[in-house]
Structure formats: C-alpha cells, structure tokens
Amino acid sequence: MNPTTISLTLLSLSPFILASPMPLPADPPPTSPAPPTTKPKTSTTTYHQLKLPDPQNWNAGKSLFPGRVMAGYHEDYEKFTKDSWSKYMLQKCQESEGCGSADAYSAINSGTPKVRVWFGYTYSGGATTEKDFVRGPGVEDSVVWTMDS
C-alpha cells in the first residue's frame, strides 16, 4: 500500500536582481553517487503513543499545522484500520530525519466525494503534548505518536 503524499511547498515571490554579472564558481570535482539502499532510513529516536482524552477526535493545532508539517498523507478509509494506519504513520516518522511527532486520524474529505478518508502528518520540532492538538469536527480514530524526551 502506498498512500498518496501531500507535498507542501513554500514559494518565494521575491526575484533576485543582480546589478552586474558575477563569475560562477568552478565546477566541483565529480563524485560517485551513493550506493542504492534497499531499506528506508530508520531513525534511532524512540516514540510513544500520546494518550489523549476520549473521544478520539483530535488533530493538529496551530502550534503544529502548518508550520511544523514535514509531510502529509491520505488514503482510502477501507484500505486501513485505525491500528494499521497509526503504525504506518509511525513508520513514516521513524523514516524521516528530524521527525518529532506524527498523527493519524480519519475525517470527511473536503473535496468530492464527501467520504471518510485517512489522514496523517509528520511534524518536526521535537516532542509534542496534548496542548499541541485540538478537537476537530468530523475527526475520528485519532492516534498521536511523539518522540521520547
């Protein structure tokens, strides 16, 4: 199963203007490409599940979203269970250098058709606490993983 990755890109609209041409640096010597790896990179950081009060209708608050988002994922609701989606998101965090936390939850898609979909995000910036999450309308099945401090 390969969920779709949501790419978040920040665009700079400031053009660079040079008053006079600048010489380009000499080309660096060629290097050999790194050998291909067969396994994804896995962090040595350990994580635990953050216990949030019921009902499990939590998603990221303003302290995390969008500023600390590393990557976002979504997948059809029928393809995962709460447990398997949560473990998938933990794996994505473990594979991402600098990931401090990941969440997994289901919600109604804002596009069409209006169906329940799995969502998950990985976040940079260290461990998270309950204060970093808010209750969301239509959100269910929430699980949050955070790094051990």
Domain locations in the chain as residue ranges: 43-147
Task: Quickly count: other Cβ atoms within 10 Å of residue 6's Cβ.
Answer: 13
Tell me how far apart the alpha carbons of residues 118 and 78 are, in angstroms, rounded to a whole number. Answer: 9
53-75, pLDDT tens digit by residue? 999 999 999 999 999 999 999 99
Which pLDDT value is given to residue 20?
33
Which pLDDT value is given to residue 1?
54
Which pLDDT value is given to residue 127?
97
Q: Out of 3.30.70, 2.40.10, 3.50.4, 3.40.50, select the CATH number for domain 43-147.
A: 3.50.4
Which pLDDT value is given to residue 22?
38
Query: The tokens of 94 are what?
Result: 């473990």
Tell me how far apart the alpha carbons of residues 99 and 41 are, in angstroms, rounded to a whole number. Answer: 12
Which pLDDT value is given to residue 25?
44
> Which residues of the chain carry a pLDDT beneath 50?
6-32, 36-39
Which of these, 148, 102, 100, 101, lies nearest to 3 by C-alpha position? 102
